Every structure is written in C-alpha cells, then in structure tokens.
Amino acid sequence: MRGTTALPGTPCLAPRGGEPPVHRLEVRAPGEVPFAAGGFDAMGPMSRAAFPHRHTFYEIVHVVEGSGAHVLDAERYEVRPPQLGVILPGQVHHWEGVRGLEGSLVLFTPEFLLGDGDEGLLRRLGERPWVGLDDASHERTSLLMAELAEEYRCGADGFAGVLRSLLHVLLVRAARLPGAAVRPAPVRGIAEEFVRLAGRAGADGLSVRECAERLGVSPGHLAEAVRAATGRTPAALLREARTREAQRLLVSTGLSIRQVASRVGFADPAYFCRFFRRETGRTPGDFRKHHDRRDPSIEAGGPHA
C-alpha cells in the first residue's frame, strides 16, 4: 500500500511541474484497510472536484441524480442517471458543470482486491468506463453499494473480508452490463506483470528493454510471453500507454507540447508530433484544440489539492 494511502489532512502528492495533482486514498488511521464507501457528501468535497486530478486508487461511482458531465482523460460523458462509472489509478478526471449530483462511491487501492482476476476485470471495465443502468441493474447496484457503505461504516469483525467479497460481486455484475466489457481470459505470470507496468511505463517513457530489465527477463522472452497472453507486442502496448498519457496531459494541463513530449519520454518534440499523429490521426496541437477543455496547471497557479 506504500504511497497509495494517506491519513486525514495529509497533503496530496506533489506532481511534476504543470501536471494535475495526485490524490491518495484517505484512511481513518494507520493500518486501516485501504477502502472507503459512501455517498458523495460522506466522501467529502473532492468527490465532486471540478479540476483535473489523478488518483492512486480505483473509484467506482454510482450516479442516481444530477446533471452535467464527467470528464475522464480525453472523453466527456454526460450525466444521465442512473449510471455506473469506473476510474482507474492514474487516469485524469473531473466533474464539469454538475448540478444536484447524488449517488455513492467505492474507493480502494489495487492491494485491496480479492485477486488478480478482479484487477483484470477493472482493466477491462475501464475500456467502457461509463454505462447506463436499466431499472433492474440500478436496483441491484443500489443494494450492493448500500451494503458496502454500511459494512465499511460499522467495521464489525471480519469486515475487510466481507468488503472484498461484496466488491468482487459488484465487479462481476458490472462486467455483465450491456455495453460493458466482457471478462477476458486471465493474463498470468510475466505478461500480467508487464501489463501492470505498461501503464506506469507510458508516463515514464520506458522502453521495452527497460521494462524487461525491471521484470528480470530478456526482451525476447518478454515479447513471447506478452504476445501469447494478449495477442499484442510489448511495443504496441507501450505505444498505447504513452499516447494515452500524452492525451491526458494535452487535455488537462497547460504544458507546452515540448513539455508533454518530454514527460512521455521524447527528447525531440518533432518526433513526438509524428508519433502522436501516427497513433491518433491528429497532431498534438489539433488534438488539444479539438478538446479545448484545459484548466490552469499547477505550474501556472491552478488549483491545489
């Protein structure tokens, strides 16, 4: 759990200049389970934050009332309750123009999950992070979210195990929703470790060779394992991760294109522009202009956590 949780009143993690603030999960006391559940009001003002920020934890949000939009990375999702949303660690998100926003949230770190299968489910759910609920799904989700909040609030003997089990049920049912991702075959071993690393590697600009060194295998062995498990090459997954991180920075910060290039591991801004256009079909400038929802960056005196 190191670095993913914080005690009440602890300042948020200081990001690199110009990047969105990074928020850790607030726990009630040292050694507490890295989990929280409750309504928007119970979770505090950050639950409705209107400025771009990242989490070190997962968030599942069940919206039951309100209007406005939820902005996640480069996508804007209209609030039309009832809906279920999933926010993954490292994604940049905020609420935009919301009014009367009500519902419940479940927050937890990767270490809290029941097993590797749940982390795989969350990665797949993150591909379709905002789905509408029919009446039956809304009712079932409401009951589960209420149970999670009550179990968390009471903290009776064995509550951590109950919370993990209820969370597992929530994830499995979320994967069954129309429009949600279908559960894939589990990714194991070195390939699984690489998939976890790839998200961070995109932000750090790591190469396949550097990832292989961190995992203690040769680049060739890594390539074989990842291709066998995912059908894709490590290089393709890293390109996707770097592109996603660049999109986040372009949309949610005032960093220059040169600074964004540097943040995702490109020493040459011109090469970064060619790479970005090849991956997205737009230049970085066009992509930023198309979205045009940047908030002032921390570096420029924007909001602090």
What's the rounded Cα separation, in Å, for the pair 87 and 72? 8
pLDDT per residue of the chain (305 residues) written in tens, 0 to 9? 345 665 555 555 556 667 788 888 877 655 688 999 999 999 888 899 999 998 889 999 999 999 999 999 878 999 999 999 999 988 999 999 999 999 999 999 988 987 768 888 898 898 889 999 999 999 999 999 999 999 999 989 999 999 999 999 999 999 988 866 544 445 567 887 888 788 776 667 788 999 988 888 888 889 998 888 888 899 999 998 899 889 888 988 888 999 999 988 899 999 999 999 999 999 999 999 887 644 433 333 333 32
Cα first-last separation, the chain: 21
Give the type of residue at 2.
Answer: R
Q: Taking phi first (over 0 means left), then psi (-120 to 50 degrees means alpha), and beta for anything else, what does residue 57 get?
A: beta
Name the CATH topology of 189-291.
Answer: Arc Repressor Mutant, subunit A (1.10.10)
**Cβ atoms of residues 82 and 64 within 8 Å:** yes
Instruction: Please tell me the predicted confidence (pLDDT) of residue 300.
Output: 33
The closest of 90, 89, 92 to 113, measured between CA atoms, is 89
The answer to whether the beta carbons of residues 110 and 89 sit under 8 Å apart is yes
What is the pTM (predicted TM-score) of this model?
0.71
> What integer pLDDT is reported at residue 181 of this predicted model?
53
pLDDT of residue 80: 96
Rg of the Cα trace of the chain? 19
Indicate the domain borders of the chain.
5-176, 189-291
| Rounded Cα distance, 34 and 268, in Å | 40
Assign domain 5-176 to its CATH architecture: Sandwich (2.60)
Is-contact 179 126, C-beta < 8 A? no
